[in-house]
Amino acid sequence: GGITAHNSGTVRNCRSAGSVTVDRSFAGGIVGSNSNLNALCILQDCYNTADISGLISGGVAGYSENGVTVNCYNAGSVTGSERSGGVAGANEHSTVKNCYNTGSISGPVSGGVVGLNEYSTVKNCYNAGSVTDSTDSGGILGINKNNATIQNCYWYGSDGNGIGNFTDGTKSGIG
């Protein structure tokens, strides 16, 4: 990550610029991995303008498990060879809230806010960046599955679908 490879506590009020490239792991503008199975991990009031490239890539966090990402944004380009998202590449058992993306996103599972949203919540977020080159892509989410929730989120632009692949879960206020 642009600030740290792994967060298992709290990261607040940071910014990252330049570029982050990781060949075989999680790449994030602020943290590569935001994960702690024993306690909640928090990313708050952070932003990224760096270009991000990796296996699972996010503008703020590459991967988040048992985490909360709140009041963060990304303005850099994000490319993931497996998953990519403007805020998080993969969001599992986590929450992304009050966040946005304006950077361009690309990869096989990609979303303007989150690439893969599983057992998680994405709420009050938006995307104004482009989402391209993807099997499962959406202006907001690439894939939403396993009882994940998306609420009060929207996207701008020509990316046709808000959610590339909605397997199951709850969605409301999408536009």
Q: pTM to 2 decimals?
A: 0.96
Contacts of 50 (CB under 8 A, 6+ apart): 2, 16, 17, 18, 19, 20, 29, 76
User: Could you tell me the sign of the dihedral formed by the alpha carbons of 34, 122, 24, 130, in that order?
Assistant: negative
Sequential DSSP letters for 66-122: SEEEES-EE-S-EEEEEEEESSEEEEES-EEES-EE-S-EESSEEESSEEEEES-EE
Phi-psi region for residue 162, left (φ > 0), alpha (ψ -120 to 50) or beta? alpha
Instruction: Give residue 127's Cα distance to chain centre.
Output: 11
Q: What is the pLDDT of residues 122-156, one digit of tens each?
A: 999 999 999 986 679 999 999 999 999 999 999 98
pLDDT of 132? 86
pLDDT value for 24: 85
Spatial distance between the Cα atoms of 17 and 90, rounded to a whole number of angstroms = 21
State the Cα–Cα distance between residues 32 and 43, nearest whole angstrom: 12
Q: Quick one: the chain helix, strand, coil %, rounded to 5?
A: 0, 60, 40
% of the chain exceeding 70 in pLDDT: 97
Structure tokens at 67: 């985490």
* Mean pLDDT confidence for 66-73: 98
- Residue 49 and residue 72 in contact, taking contact as beta carbons nearer than 8 Å: no
Kindly report which listed range (91-95, 98-102, 165-169) carries the lowest average pLDDT score.
Answer: 165-169
